[in-house]
Chain A
């Protein structure tokens, strides 16, 4: 646990724009700035409903991206210009990207969101984004505006390469090489990514997701092994990932 984040800072932003990413996903862009690092997250509060963790999609203007899968994310998807967005944060440990030369970013589903914020800080990162199907792809245009052409994979082959991100990653590692892989997405995907990196001797950092309730390392609902994910992570380096047995066994 680190104590550099004594964060309980709460901000209320005005929603400036809502971008429809796909049929069930919206990016909520606010009118403000949130001093934060890629990989950190915020707890988003909808008064009277609940409070849930969301990756920081961008710091200036501050944005989050929400995929609709329950009542809370559905409300976020209904947000419109002029609404208020209240968040506590930034929370947790983000990605470490000092002196990185050849990074590869691998995002699965909405795991791509924090990787866009990271991509903004890196020089020419290779980006792989995996989705189930064409109409679930998100954030692609944002990467293109940075001059990055993401490698797209879909499980059903409806767009880009058919299959998982893993084949695309092996391909990049083989052809261009990398000094580090950053990944965020479903646990089985990240396990596969970590295994490929281990085999190729490439360093990696993963952003883990567990069920967070307090976001500040107190309630214990997000533990994985002996880690308190919201405060020790959510980003973990290779040497720590190696020791989390529960990550590898799922």
Chain B
């Protein structure tokens, strides 16, 4: 049987499929279920200092080639989230995702996480649809990425993953800034865009926030190219996120240079079973092509 276990910044994953932040991620019991259904690891929804209601619905829409979402960081706030995720007992790594408006706020929230046991902290510098955060606050450029990464890094005692946007120019430079700031891994990446869907009958943008981040099959080639660029630019490991729905998609990410893959929108298409299905499909391909370990495939597209 092909071995799909992987290692990233010193963290072991039995499967390279990691639940991406934002999907189902505010309930410990649901995340435990996701793990029991085959996810190698899970990422919480991005948590802010204060609770956030997020945008009004519609927050998500299927546009045919994928999904467009503008959830707006709906989350229970750091205090409730720490209570919820305290005492994580699964062996599948728990990645705690946070987001904040500036370095000061990032430091504050990062400093609170050490109260509970998590495998890594992820910072999302790349949300395309929430005013005051991510791309809409200019956090995606190289200088801000460096500053925020540095601020968070000194406040935590577990590996730091920096999640980047596929919709910025010179993504390699941004990844380098994250590495220089002390990131232990890069998650490439967030949703793309933003994009817009207009309802013909009502002649209005469908999402309440009007625009949102694109995910799903339509963004896979964009995400694979970004992973390829980032792998070339930095030495730290890369998580490839964006449009992975089938095992063959995950393998493209791995060949581009990812050590693990983020899974999000696939949950919409294939249910929570996505994780075990993708893993199975990867193993089948590896076996019929004579590969025993994922590691043999990481970055082979560069050779």
What residues make up the interface of A, taking CB atoms closer than 8 Å to B?
1-3, 6, 8, 10, 12, 43, 45, 47-52, 84, 86, 88, 213-214, 216-221, 223, 225-228, 231
Contacts and interface: CB of A to CB of B under 8 A. Distances in A.
A223 B29 contact: yes
A226 B24 CA distance: 10
A47 B61 CA distance: 14
8 contacts: A3-B270, A6-B62, A8-B62, A12-B199, A213-B54, A217-B271, A223-B26, A228-B24
A219 B27 CA distance: 11
Interface in B60-82: 60-62, 67, 69, 71, 74
A3 B202 contact: no
Q: Label chain A's interface by main secondary structure.
A: loop
Interface of B: 23-27, 29-30, 32-33, 45, 54, 56-62, 67, 69, 71, 74, 199, 201-202, 204, 206, 208, 265, 267-273
Give 8 nearest A-B pairs by CB, closest first.
A8-B62, A12-B201, A51-B57, A1-B271, A220-B24, A226-B29, A226-B33, A223-B27
Contacts of A86: 199, 201-202
Contacts of A48: 204, 208
Given A47-B199, A216-B60, A218-B267, A223 B204 contact: no
Contacts of B56: 49-51
B247 to A, nearest CB: 17
B289 to A, nearest CB: 28
A214 B57 CA distance: 7
Contacts, number: 97
A107 to B, nearest CB: 26
Contacts of B24: 217-220, 223, 228
Given A2-B271, A86-B202, A218-B69, 14 more contacts: A6-B269, A8-B62, A47-B199, A50-B56, A50-B57, A50-B208, A213-B59, A218-B67, A218-B265, A219-B24, A220-B27, A223-B29, A226-B29, A231-B271
Contact of A228 (B30, B67, B71, B265): B30
A62 B158 CA distance: 54
A48 B207 CA distance: 9
B74 A10 contact: no
Nearest to B27: A223
A222 to B, nearest CB: 10
Nearest to B204: A47
A1 B199 contact: no
Nearest to A44: B57
A219 to B, nearest CB: 6
Contacts of A220: 23-27, 30, 45
